[in-house]
Amino acid sequence: MIPGIVAGQSTPQSGGGAREALYWRLNITSTHGDRSSTELRELQFRGAVGGANMATDTARAAASSEYSAEYGAGKAFDNNAGTIWLSTSMPAWIRYSFAAPTSVVEYALFTTNGTPYLPDTWTLECSDDAAVWEVVHAVADAVLPLDALTAFTV
């Protein structure tokens, strides 16, 4: 079970939530301390502000790196705050592939309690082919709360 939402800051780029795409990813370029890896409990993609998470099929997840199957990309989409995705390198990205083009209006990150591994700089990107990416939201030097779900409007 995922606790309530803590509102985050929005820094939209061109396109915003009106953009439909098959692939959506969080491209993390910096963390609070340990610059060699990052981790998340959950990553949610929503079609409306405060809406339901649309990314729930763990088989549709992929990442630039995974520590092991126990910490694989699918763990960020399993609706279980007791599991985590852990990258083995930085920068790192985690991606979700929708079955049909999908518009994301809001996304949410559920952080861990490992401060050095918390993302602090990232972009939300979308693509139709998983090769060419468009930045739709950017965050720099964020201070995310520990063990909390923080939502960002695109």
Q: What is the pLDDT of residues 85-144, one digit of tens each?
A: 999 999 999 999 999 999 999 999 999 887 788 999 999 999 999 999 999 999 999 999
pTM exceeds 0.85, yes or no: yes
Report d(CA 99, CA 77) in Å as an integer. Answer: 15
**CA-based radius of gyration for the chain:** 14
- Show the tokens assigned to 12: 């939209």
